Amino acid sequence: MASILVTGCAGFIGSHLAERLLLEGHRVVGLDNFDPFYNRTLKEQNLATCLAHPRFSFHEVDLRRGLDALVDALPADPIEAVVHLAAKAGVGPSVQDPTGYLENNVLGTTYLLEWMRHRAIGKLFFASSSSVYGNTRQQPFREDMNLQAACISPYAASKLSGEQLTYTYHHLHRLDVLNARFFTVYGPRQRPDLAIHKFVRLLRAGQPIPVFGDGSTARDYTFVRDTVEGIVRGVHYLLTHTGVYETVNLGNSRPVALLELIAAVGEAVGEQPQLEFQPMQAGDVDITYADISKARQLLGYSPQTTLEAGLTEFVQWLDQTSWLEPGAVAVGHKF
């Protein structure tokens, strides 16, 4: 078994991943800065199971503080691979705060790569995003598509920049890298700003759902357990191969239109949705649609969770969870 550093371990995907790696027998070193994008208490709840595990250690570190902060926090932890999930997420907020997104997602990633170089850690799983494809007309999205003019939000640009940085370190320092483009992950512990989370809370409150656009925009929704399975398979691939530089889509390969999603959430909640249509948001795209043939071939990745089953599991979890966030607001699709 390996010793693996997971950045962003207190978040939605990161906490699920850390638990899964521990179940497999790995040692997990967790890192998070508890970004105030949403309530810290929720992230601490996410970490509760891991913190009780003897093979888990946690360090509160902000990557933007630079190489010295990482050196001070992790002076001697034996680490064989890094899963880099830490980032400021979301398309809409990045339009309002481009500097913050670039500082966190590009500069923070650069500091992490430099720390890995100094520590001679040679394996990196980098979490990218379907947003890098922008409004590309060719569908489904393939990893070998030309994305030079695709990004239409600072968040997308920051993620594509991260991929370019990982290639630079692969080329210069022989870092083995697997970039994974996530496609609209949902499920228990989902961030409270994301669409499905807000839809359920609005329905439970008997409030209408504001819809950006005409409801025809579509996303390739992927249940968190399937995404985590893809990450774990990616880590195993990195640990057993050398000379690696690959980019894969971790999606479901089934776009769901916004109106279809809202109807499915209504079914899961047992409420009839009421809709309020509003203009599209800046930076939003029309569709995301993953070609997952490369991930299937390279990693044996094969998502198993239907939208209906995933929504049911999410609603059950949310109904059993005490949430501290203020009331829901207008939403469209998020990445």
Determine how many CB atoms are found less than 10 A away from the CB of residue 216.
11
Q: Residue 93 in contact with residue 331, Cβ under 8 Å?
A: no
Q: Residue 153 in contact with residue 283, Cβ under 8 Å?
A: yes
Longest Cα–Cα distance of the chain, Å, equals 56
CA distance 200 to 317: 11
Say which of 111, 133, 155, 186 is annotated catalytic: 155
Cis peptide preceding 303, ω within 30 of 0: no
The three-class DSSP label of residue 261 is helix
Q: For residue 31, what is the DSSP state?
A: E
- Amino acid sitting at position 176: D
Q: Residue 85 in contact with residue 129, Cβ under 8 Å?
A: no
Crossing angle of helices 258-269 and 307-319, rounded to 10°: 50
Between the CA of residue 59 and those of 107, 205, 321, what are the distances in Å? 19, 38, 26
CA distance 83 to 228: 11
Closest CA to 86 of 33, 137, 41: 33
Closest CA to 159 of 268, 85, 69: 85
* Residue 155 bears catalytic tag: yes
Closest CA to 141 of 290, 246, 301, 293: 290
Q: Residue 285 in contact with residue 131, Cβ under 8 Å?
A: yes
CA distance 34 to 20: 21
Q: Residue 328 in contact with residue 334, Cβ under 8 Å?
A: no
Active site residues: 155
